[in-house]
Amino acid sequence: MALTVRMYEVGFGDCFLIGVHDPAPSRWILIDCGSITEGKAKVRAVVDDILALCRNGDGNPELALVIATHRHKDHVWGFDDPRWADVLVGEVWMPWTEDPADPRAIELRGRQAKLALALAVDKSDENPLELTPANETVKEQAVRALRAIALNALTNEAAMKTLHEGFKGSPPRMFLPEPDQVCQARTVGGVAGVVFHVLGPPRGDKALALMDPPEGAGYLRWPTRIPPRQVDPPFSARYRIVDPAYLPTVLGATFRQSDKKEIEKALEEPDGFLGLALDKAINNTSLVIMIEAGEHHLLFTGDAQWGSWQAILAEPQCRALLERMTLLKVGHHGSHNATPRALIEDLAPEPITALISTKPVKQWPGIPRPPLIDALGDRHDRIGRTDRELQATAAGFSVGTGLYVEWTDQAPARKPRRRAP
């Protein structure tokens, strides 16, 4: 079977186009389309390429399946392009948390949205990562990057509308996994011979906690309460020391001016924790799907994080599937929490192909995480990175300069993986 995976260079974002070329004509599956580091023009160019490529027999753009792993801007932003309305789509898959009829999903989305709105002080269209103000301190730089994470959660409406209501041909929307299904195997009309195994996100109550923004946990009260609830000094004015001569700091007592400063400094609010927690909560709603085509087992992980992975790895059925993995879309742009050590070390003892869609952001030196890249390298995995075109060419990927890195199964044949029982 001829199979291709075109990984678009959308910077810190994901956009994967999978082609199933045997039997002809080719059928196409799109997984995510978004970015937070790239501008509109770049994302537009990516959509151009997709639309040009996926032509059906009538010469019209057609996708057999669109998968949106989760609602972060770096995964869905590209769907706000008006041209999607003319694309014929077979089915649209989203995580169960997007289901407009599921009360639990509605509540969860409501809480996530509320926190996202509260965090995004400035909802202007400009991308905090693109700004480069002069004379910026290191701290300001960090804050700017944190704002980008908060804004990432504020998916723009148009993109989600396309996914929920748009496209040509009124494709059915599936919210996965379906209740009480573990590792459900699905097929899509028109794509014969390809099986989609839905591994995540988990659905249980415990799983829900992973996706819940920290509002319920009480973080909102302090130190990052939003909006600040101003409280007056709790005592009547007569208890206040006003005469400077009586302030403890001048009285020669042990409490010095420096102590006062120290306490004030210690109470300063830590930056961005809420934004990060929300980021994790939404990442954990990611659809995790393994595509089985012949002997190929391609794992698309979205941005699933530690909690979601724990649930997946706890299912023996899922583990059995993961052991057959031949290609891995490395989760969350290569970050620390999105690729469990067990997945690489225990479940995949033989080299695989690893696709990493990423772009280093100065403030986040941990993405992609160097030890993870090293570990993949040490195992002789074939690594394709969107930010390393030369390397990708050397590793046998085809490269569309400035646009994509593509894997095809024409590349050096691998023998089917066998594991000792």
Contacting residues toward another protein, per CB under 8 A: 142, 145-146, 149, 217-219, 221-223, 225, 229, 231, 233-236, 239-241, 247-249, 253-256, 259-260, 262-264, 266-267, 272-273, 276-277, 279-281, 305-307, 332, 335-338, 340-341, 363-367, 371
CB of 359 to another protein, least distance (A): 15
Residue 221: its H or E element: none
CB of 308 to another protein, least distance (A): 11
Residue 352: its H or E element: none
Full DSSP string of 171-214: PPEEEESPTT-SSEEE--TT-TTEEEEEEES--SHHHHHHHS-G
Decide whether 37 or 337 has the Cβ nearer to another protein. 337
State phi, psi for 59 to the nearest 5 degrees.
80, 10
Structure tokens at 349: 């003892």
- Nearest CA among 273, 269, 268, 274 for reference residue 215: 274
Q: Radius of gyration (Cα) for the chain, nearest Å?
A: 24
State phi, psi for 332 to the nearest 5 degrees.
45, 50
Decide whether 231 or 394 has the Cβ nearer to another protein. 231
Distance CA 353, CA 409 (A): 11
CB of 199 to another protein, least distance (A): 18
Decide whether 16 or 364 has the Cβ nearer to another protein. 364
Which amino acid is residue 155, in one-letter code? Answer: T
Decide whether 7 or 149 has the Cβ nearer to another protein. 149
Decide whether 135 or 254 has the Cβ nearer to another protein. 254
CB of 322 to another protein, least distance (A): 17
Decide whether 157 or 232 has the Cβ nearer to another protein. 232
CB of 345 to another protein, least distance (A): 12
Distance CA 5, CA 330 (A): 14
CB of 74 to another protein, least distance (A): 13
Task: Give me the count of residues in the chain.
Answer: 421
